Chains A and B, each alone.
Chain A
């Protein structure tokens, strides 16, 4: 049990996918104008990640031991189909959210965080439950990062900012400061 909590906290805060491993930066910089959208994109991310973790475990156990060189191709196809599925579900359940996420929903396919999750948990040799916990932690971490950046950006909208700094440059510098703050979590568990 202790092991699982450690995996979760580590993926959530210490090795935060966005702020310390630089995965999933495109939506991080693209969809964080409004907090609510950012939060929902985070939830969609968690969902895709959990399904991917299950699928990756299944592939690793039953298929890829016979053909390890197919790993990358089969992972990416599974992810593409899962994203397609999520897209259809969201379109049906909440057309407004579908519109707000726009192009960034299909782009979850090319979100490095999802493929990164599948590859990292394979490299670390996680089993089924560990993989699931890892996916939840990583997804939660991405959601936290998205929401933090979005809320800071909502605050900066009313400030007077020189034209040169506006846009991605400012977001990157804010992200850098957030990342600096997250480095503090590294001491959370002592020398683990």
Chain B
């Protein structure tokens, strides 16, 4: 259970480990895009973690990275075609960024540091925790940017006509700003927790 929970919060891939930045900023201009990207990544992560964990005794050490990448690329191709067939709108909105899941450092990092050393069940827990943590982070980023920049959440208008949208938030600079401030928040809470430990009031 510990393996599953750590990915959600304490070792959250985006907010704490700062992995997989490119998709987290590029596609989070709306909550639904963030969620779709997060779930697609989760699927690829779980699939490749299971396969890597199964094959971990067979893969020669020298070519392991290449092997992982080929495995990951296979799963991404599956996701790409599935989305194209069943959810063409989302596929269009995410564009080339679905293919770019291959080069998400988060996935490769989990294969290298966890699945290649642990059994099937533990790898599955780790992958699903990290994947959902990633999806959660993307959804948060997407929601904040959509609310600020468009005045809506999941396409539903929140504030009525009087609201003047803060357009810059759904443009590229907004991505940097929102993530920067969220990291600030995380740092701040981590620091307060540390201070509480040192001098219990």
Which residues of A approach B to under 8 Å, CB–CB?
19-26, 29, 69, 72-73, 76-77, 80, 106-107, 109-112, 114-116, 119-120, 123, 163-165, 167-173, 175-177, 179-180, 183
Whether B18 and A168, one on each chain, are in contact in the complex, defined by CB atoms closer than 8 angstroms, is yes
Interface residues, chain B, CB within 8 Å of chain A? 18, 21-23, 25-26, 65-66, 69-70, 73-74, 76-77, 80-81, 96, 99-100, 102-105, 108, 168, 171-177, 179-181, 183-184, 187-188, 191
Q: Of the candidates B74, B175, B191, which one forms a contact with A73 in the assembled complex, judged by CB atoms under 8 Å apart?
A: B74
* Minimum Cβ distance to chain B for residue A49 (Å): 14
A72-B99, A119-B96, A164-B188 in contact; A175/B176 too (CB < 8 A)?
yes
Do most interface residues of chain A lie in helix, strand or loop, or is the interface mixed? helix
Known contacts A72-B73, A180-B173; 12 additional CB pairs below 8 A are A21-B26, A22-B172, A29-B21, A69-B81, A76-B70, A112-B100, A114-B103, A163-B191, A169-B181, A169-B183, A177-B173, A179-B172
The main secondary structure of chain B at its interface with chain A is helix
Question: Are B173 and A164 closer than 8 Å at their CB atoms?
Answer: no
The residue that A76 contacts in the complex, of B21, B69, B184, with Cβ under 8 A, is B69
Decide yes or no: A22 and B183 within 8 Å by CB, A73-B73, A76-B69 being known contacts.
no
A to B CB contacts below 8 Å, 22 in the list? A22-B26, A23-B26, A23-B100, A26-B105, A72-B80, A73-B70, A76-B69, A80-B65, A80-B69, A110-B69, A112-B104, A115-B99, A115-B102, A116-B96, A119-B96, A119-B99, A123-B96, A169-B180, A172-B176, A175-B176, A175-B180, A179-B173
